[in-house]
Amino acid sequence: MRINVDGRAVFATTGGAPFDPAKPAVVFLHGAGFDRTTWRLQTRFFAHHDRAVLAVDFPGHGWSDGPALSSIAALADWAAKLIEAAGLKSAALVGHSMGALVALDAAARHPAKVRALGLCGVATEMPVHPEMLESAKAGTLKVQELMTFWGIGNALHKGGMVSPGLWLRAESLAVLSAAKPGVIHTDLAACNAYKDALARAPDVKCPTVLVLGDGDLMTPAAKAKPLATAIAGSKTVVIANSGHFMMVERPDETLEALKSCV
């Protein structure tokens, strides 16, 4: 479905069920350079278990109109507008990596619009290696290769996907290679620049679960501990044998963690 936010079309999938704004809503926010397809293994469950689901493409990503927004704060304000534009009073926000920072910032600054948080692959800060930023700015393939190599857990580089026939690294590279020019750099630069997570965390008052991978090299689980401590009443779930892309690497375990909150 398409939703109009700030005069631009936003594309979202609904988990295979009609979107009903009268139901409790869950909005899924993807990470840097990716799109709504990140969440296809979780959205179907929620859409068929009494939730209204939107897995959105951020501006300039996937099938949404551009341009891409250049800061986490701007994306958080956009997420709050999206909730309103979808005819919702509030929604649970489930974000991965960059999307998790967006969800956190939105919950802190727009509390009336966010009823719960699921923060996957999150850390107090997300610094990006200069080589990755340089490659992204130049539009070379190195950044895509590094994002997939370091992002996917070691076990999954050797096979063992629960979804038969799915080669996660090739699929991830395909999504990244389809990104519009400049989008990956814009996203990574926004993550690199964002230093407000720990300051925002005490303002988060809704139920929150942090979903982390024990083998995540991009946002190591230990780097999320200060954030978890600062969010009152939050719950942390560390998924075994998972890298940064736990929603695809370990979809069932990720789903169980999210079900406990959203």
The model's pLDDT over 233-258, given as tens digits with 9 standing for 90+, comes to 999 999 999 999 999 999 999 999 99
Tell me which of 10-14, 167-171, 179-183, 223-227 is least confident.
167-171
Instruction: Report the distance separating Cα 11 and Cα 24, nearest Å.
Output: 20
Scored b (16 or more CB within 10 A) or e, 30-43 reads bbbbbbbbbbbbbb
- The Cβ-side half-sphere exposure at 234, using a 13 Å CA radius, reads 25
Q: Looking at the predicted structure, is the pLDDT value of residue 173 above 90?
A: no
- pLDDT, position 217: 93
Compute the average pLDDT of residues 166-170: 70
CATH of region 2-259, choose from 3.40.50.1820, 3.40.50.300, 3.30.360.10, 3.30.70.141: 3.40.50.1820
Q: Looking at the predicted structure, is the pLDDT value of residue 165 above 60?
A: no
Whether a cis peptide bond, with omega within 30° of 0, leads into 18 is no
Q: What is the average pLDDT value for the chain, to the nearest integer?
A: 94
**Which class for 146: exposed (0-12), middle (13-18), buried (19 or more C-beta within 10 A)?**
middle
Domain boundaries, the chain: 2-259
Tell me which of 61-65, 162-166, 173-177, 228-232 is least confident.
162-166
- pLDDT, position 164: 59
The secondary structure of residue 17, as a DSSP letter, is S
Record the pTM. Answer: 0.95
Q: Looking at the predicted structure, is the pLDDT value of residue 159 above 90?
A: no
- pLDDT, position 158: 62
Token couple for 65: 């109109």
> pLDDT by residue (tens digit) across 87-118?
999 999 999 999 999 999 999 999 999 999 99
Q: Looking at the predicted structure, is the pLDDT value of residue 208 above 80?
A: yes
The secondary structure of residue 44, as a DSSP letter, is H
